[in-house]
Amino acid sequence: MRKAQAASAVNQPLVTPTEVRRFDKAVTVRDRGAFLFELDRLVREKLAAATNTAIDKSPLTETLRGKAASLRAATSWAPTAADVQQGRAELLREFDRPHNLPLADFVRLAHKSRQQIYKDIAARRLLALDVGRRGQRIPDWQLESPGLQLTRAVLQAAEDVDAWTVYRALAEPCEALGGQPPAASVNRGNVDATARVVLASLGVQRSEHGGAAA
C-alpha cells in the first residue's frame, strides 16, 4: 500500500495546468499539453540535480568531520609535576627581578603608609605580585606618575584580569610599541594611547567612561 502511494506521488505532475496559465501573459503557448510536459520534466531535472549535489557534498562533510575528530585529543591536557615545578621556578625568577620591590621598600620610596599601600592594592589602584608566603612585590615603575597612571588605568579597566597577567602585559616587549615594554615606554604624553595598546593585548576594550566595555 505504501509502495503504491509512493509511486503515485512520484508520478504526480509537479506543475499543474493552473500553474501553466501564469505564463499566458509572458509567452504564447500553442500546445499547452506539450508545454506542461516539458516544464514538468525541467522542474524534475532541476530537483534531481539539487539532490545529487547535496548527496555529493555529504562525503566531504564526513571527511572534514573525521579530520576534526582526529585533531581532538582523547583526554584533556593536564600539567605534570615537572611542568608545575618549572612554571613556579619561572614565576619566582620574575618575582625576584630587581624592579619588583619588597613592600617595605616601596612604602619608603613612595612616602606613603603601609596601610595606604594595602588599600591601593585592594582597590586595584596599585599592582602587586604575590607568590604565597614570600610576601608581595610591587613593580617600581609605579613610583613615577606615568607608570602609575598607566598601571591604574589598565587595572581598573581590566577588572577580571589577574595581577600576573596584567604585569606581563606591562613588562614584556610589545610589538605595537616598537618592541619596548609598555611600562618602559610610557610618558606623560602617551598614557592613554599606551593603555589602549595594553588593554588590546589583554582582549579588553576600554569604554568611553574609562571602564571595560563588554
Which pLDDT value is given to residue 60? 61
Dist. CA 150–CA 188, nearest whole Å: 10
For 5, 34, 38, 100, 159, the CA distances from 9, given in Å and listed in that order, are 6, 21, 19, 81, 64
Which pLDDT value is given to residue 7? 44
Minimal CA–CA distance to 183: which of 201, 211, 191?
A: 191
Which pLDDT value is given to residue 191? 95
Non-local CB neighbours of 125 within 8 Å, separated by 6+ positions: 152, 155, 156
Which pLDDT value is given to residue 42? 77
DSSP 3-state of 138: strand
Query: How many CB atoms neighbour CB 195 within 10 A?
Result: 24
Helix (H) or strand (E) holding 213: strand 212-213
Domain boundaries, the chain: 2-71, 83-213
What's the pLDDT tens digit per position in 53-95?
655 555 666 666 666 666 666 666 666 777 677 777 888 899 9
Does residue 186 contact residue 146 with C-beta atoms inside 8 Å?
yes
Please give the model's pTM, rounded to 2 decimal places: 0.60
Which pLDDT value is given to residue 86? 74
Which pLDDT value is given to residue 80? 76
Q: Which residue has the cell 499543474?
A: 16
What's the pLDDT tens digit per position in 23-36?
666 666 666 666 66
DSSP 3-state of 102: strand
Dist. CA 52–CA 38, nearest whole Å: 21
Those residues of the chain that have pLDDT short of 50 are 1-9, 209, 212-214
Query: How many CB atoms neighbour CB 106 within 10 A?
Result: 22
**What backbone phi and psi angles, to 5 degrees, belong to 213?**
-90, 145
Rounded (to 5) percent helix, strand, coil in the chain: 60, 5, 30
C-alpha cell at 148: 602609575
